[in-house]
Amino acid sequence: MKKIFSIALTICALLITSSALANDRIISTMYVVECNESITLRDIPSVNGRELAQIPLGQAVGFIENVGNGFYKINYDGIVGYALAEYLSADRSGVAGIFGRVVNCRISITLREYPSVEAPEIMQIPLGERVSLYPYEETDDFYCVKYRGAKGYVLKTYIRVDG
């Protein structure tokens, strides 16, 4: 009877362990983008969570899952935790760390789908807001920028590039 109980206990432990490991399986690689220097890896999906590590701009991390409240569950150097989704992207083009501010307008500027004043509007970006610049996608008159997860084009006249 002890032997059967011991085998059953071992099987249960293996099932629990494999189930926990399945929940931490890396699905894809993402990169830290659009921050000054680093982002915080936390123990829970909340800005109030305990800091586990700082992840530098441009660093690759393993994406595990979208937990649905603005956080992704990720693996950074073997540490599993949570980071703000807005700073993680499968696209490395946001790692340049070049930023600008909206200037020279009264209230806001228009983020457009492509570099033309005739292009459809994606959203308005308020005066003073910070945007990430994609320097390799700019044109003579437009910057390609990302703001709150939306990527598009704005007239250069309205952006002051951070020095």
Same domain, 88 and 104: no
Residues 28 and 89 in one domain: yes
Q: Tell me, what's the pLDDT at 17?
A: 42
Residue 58, in any domain of the structure: yes
Residue-level pLDDT at 33? 83
Shared domain check, 84 and 31? yes
Domain housing 130: 98-161
The per-residue pLDDT for 94 is 57
Question: Quick one: pLDDT at residue 57?
Answer: 83
**Whether residues 41 and 54 fall in one domain:** yes
pLDDT at 44: 96
Q: Global pTM?
A: 0.55
Residue 62 in domain: yes
Q: Name the domain boundary from 46, 62, 93.
A: 93
Domain match, 68 and 109 both: no
Number of domains in the chain: 2
Which CATH number do you get for residue 29?
2.30.30.40
Burial class (CB in 10 A: 0-12, 13-18, 19+), 6: exposed
Q: What is the 3-state secondary structure (H, E, C) of the chain?
A: CHHHHHHHHHHHHHHHHHHHHHHCCCCEEEEECCCCCEEEEECCCCCCCCEEEEEECCCEEEEEEECCCCEEEEEECCEEEEEEHHHEECCHHHHHCCEEEECCCCCEEEEECCCCCCCCEEEEEECCCEEEECHHHCCCCEEEEEECCEEEEEEHHHEEECC
- In-domain check, residue 7: no
How many Å is the Cα radius of gyration of the chain?
22
> Would you give per-residue pLDDT tens digits along the chain (163 residues)?
555 545 544 554 444 444 444 568 988 898 888 777 889 999 999 999 999 999 988 888 999 999 989 999 999 999 999 999 988 888 765 566 678 899 999 999 999 999 999 999 999 999 999 888 887 788 999 999 988 878 999 999 999 987 6
Last residue of a domain, one of 47, 77, 93: 93
37 lies in some domain:
yes
Position 93 scores a pLDDT of 59
- Domain closes at, from 93, 115, 141: 93
Are 136 and 102 contained in the same domain? yes
Residue pair 142/153 in contact (Cβ under 8 Å)? The answer is yes
